[in-house]
Chains A and B, each alone.
Chain A
């Protein structure tokens, strides 16, 4: 099935060319649909943006399969042209003047024509299809400035169904928007998701034809749907539709109840004339749709003619036979379809100039991000506006170009949002909560270093003008791994500025642990060249010294200089005094223990002395056997200690019978002025090396 192209003559369109490519496109739609062009059944014709002042007489051979005539407002097929509406009109090229006298389209016995994405700007004249079947009108607008001519007139051949399909179209003014004449046979004609505004007589003037009307809005006409005449065998169905501001919403003439209506909101003063009320529709309440208020108030969160929040239209319809999406292609918000053509949803994220008439162009979305050159497996998110796009959506393409280089195709690969990156991977993020946002996996080749930036374009699908994203290739966009590598792999000597972290890291002084730390007990410290100060070392569990350490400790003890360890009471002093410089010899050696007897009567009982007294005390120094110790020529002293072992006084003793160890001393008030318990020892000394100590002798000083 060949594809042909039409573009304005000003853009190079020429009916003398082949028409088989955008560069050899024809100049007029009239020529394309004529018998001269070669355009035939099943072919596809793309029409570039522009105004075509054609009076089209379809003389091509009668198609037997669907034959597409498609406007391309988003220039998916016409690279290099400017996006814009595709307008076919019988005004002049500037859409002014009084228009031509001929009809915009005249076709007789031409079936299976499918017009899409085209705006028909109409003066008095119209689109006339005589004895044609299977006509399709999708996402087209029909805008008339007068009220006295029908917009689309369609008849079918004898005994043949019309099988008209009108989907997502907008009709404005004219006399009858659709004037359809059938043959009183079963007919599959449908009119869905469409809006009819101010036709003078009717939105649908139905002559002997059965039509299914679902989810339409019809306003400000005399008769919304007029069945004249109709058939009870093949009745017209009107369902889920919103009609208001009409003289009569639904009317049958000649055959009553040839229209069966359900789940509608019929708000005009006379909802029905000769149409039964089946009890499922409503004739009360507000109209329930946005009349441009969001745009007027700068809120821009609703599209005109869609249900507003909590609208009585919301979910009022019935799903049986109804379209699954609204005029904008959005799934009905509620459990059931809305009444009317547009469901409620907020579109805050959509730019203010988004088209609200089906398929008028929207601005391409553009944004800039930064990615480090050489990054791999990168995914980006793009806003394309339309929902439901996939890698295989017709016309959808992706390309990139690096600075001052030719563009490169990115073949799209179907992905789900959670699947791993693959070059060209394409997935819708969340059609419900993030409608219009898609993930694209950027080929690694696009991001290699060597270019300043990369421009990525995704475009070409119906319903979106695509998106452009410029990726700046800058290390400012380092990945986490690259950032870590840049820090930890940096040359230490290049980062030692005083006071910097680099310098501190290399100096490694002045640090302390903030809290107790548990260290591995299986590792080892290589070496410590300086001293180690241990503040607290009372936790020594698990520590051992090596053999070398033990040896070193032993060496430190045994090799210490003896002369520097003489502190009284220490082992050093003892070793020096007793081992190194022991007494030379002993003239007399006596073995203790020695006793002292105080009263001269051979008793060593404690003495009782009155406070403040001064007494002479006789003593005898005896050995263990009770034999007196000779104190001849010896110095004998008595030392008196209090109960705290503090020496209170020392007294010299005078021998009274030296050979038997007897002597005397006088205790005075130095001791006796303070009552208490005292002890006295007697020291006998002849030389430095011959000293014995006797006692102790207990003394009580009593305050009587």
Chain B
């Protein structure tokens, strides 16, 4: 799976959110999918996932949050 025209942009309508743009191809160059003409909001996509998915990645994110808090680079 390869990405083309991939980019992230801040969501002007929702501070802290990001919008993902790009097209998804297989290794043979066939288009598999797309993030949409207007991109996909991370926040919007996140809340659509099931609780197990959210818990797994929240666990990983929590550790990073803790490191940043201790390092004084985040509150």
Contacts and interface: CB of A to CB of B under 8 A. Distances in A.
Contacts, number: 34
Interface in A268-307: 269-275, 277, 283-284
Interface in B1-25: 1-7, 22
Interface in A221-274: 248, 251, 253-254, 256, 269-274
Contact of B67 (A148, A248, A253): A148
B6 A273 contact: yes
Interface in A345-387: none
Given A148-B71, A253-B7, A283-B27, A275 B2 contact: yes
Given A148-B71, A271-B27, A277 B5 contact: no
B36 interface: no
B71 to A, nearest CB: 7
B27 A277 contact: yes
B2 A273 contact: yes
Nearest to B64: A148
A216 B14 CA distance: 41
Contacts of A277: 2, 27, 29
Contact of B1 (A148, A254, A269, A284): A269
Given A148-B71, A277-B29, A283-B27, A256 B3 contact: no
Q: What is the interface of chain A mostly: helix, strand, loop, or mixed?
A: loop
B15 to A, nearest CB: 22
Nearest to A279: B29
Nearest to B68: A148
Most-contacted residue by chain A among B1, B5, B7, B22 (CB, 10 A) = B1
Contacts of A248: 3
A274 B3 CA distance: 6
A256 B67 CA distance: 33
B25 to A, nearest CB: 8
A270 B3 CA distance: 7
A274 B71 contact: no
B4 A274 contact: yes
B71 A271 contact: no
Given A277-B27, A283-B27, A272 B5 contact: no
Interface string A538-580: 0000000000000000000000000000000000000000000
B5 to A, nearest CB: 7
Nearest to A272: B2
A641 to B, nearest CB: 127
A284 B2 CA distance: 13
Contacts of B5: 256, 274
Contacts of B7: 253-254
A271 B2 contact: yes
A255 B49 CA distance: 31
A273 B7 CA distance: 9
B70 to A, nearest CB: 10
Contacts of B22: 273-274
Given A148-B67, A277-B29, A256 B1 contact: no
Interface of B: 1-7, 22, 27, 29, 67, 71
Given A251-B6, A270-B3, A274-B5, 15 more contacts: A148-B67, A148-B71, A248-B3, A254-B7, A256-B5, A270-B1, A271-B2, A271-B27, A273-B6, A273-B22, A274-B3, A274-B6, A275-B2, A277-B29, A284-B27
For the complex of A and B, the 5 pairs showing the least CB-CB separation, nearest first, are A273-B3, A272-B2, A283-B27, A273-B6, A270-B1
